[in-house]
Amino acid sequence: MNDTEKIYSILNDLTGEDLTDKGDTNLFDTGLLDSMATVQLLLEIETEIGVEVPVSEFERSEWETPNKIIAKVGSLK
């Protein structure tokens, strides 16, 4: 499983939605992610992909869609 598939799997588990074809969905505006789910997302990314994202460096605008999450994780590798 590549990183993109892992991220979609994590998001699908956290939101209960299949977001595979919804890469530009704003996860915060739609209520799919809240602050607690965001922390869980960051922990899962660290565990599953090995990318550590300090909460202090988290910019919501850079993580608001699946496509942005994929791009951000890729830039941090």
> Domain with 51 in it: what CATH number?
1.10.1200.10
User: What pLDDT is recorded for position 28?
Assistant: 97
Pick from 34, 29, 27: nearest CA to 65: 27
Q: Around Cβ 73, how many Cβ atoms within 10 Å?
A: 19
User: What pLDDT is recorded for position 38?
Assistant: 92
Q: Which residue range is the domain that position 72 belongs to?
A: 3-15+23-76
User: What pLDDT is recorded for position 55?
Assistant: 76
The total domain count for the chain is 1
Per-residue pLDDT of the chain (77 residues; tens, 9 = 90+): 999 999 999 999 999 999 999 999 999 999 999 989 999 999 999 999 999 987 777 899 999 999 999 999 999 88
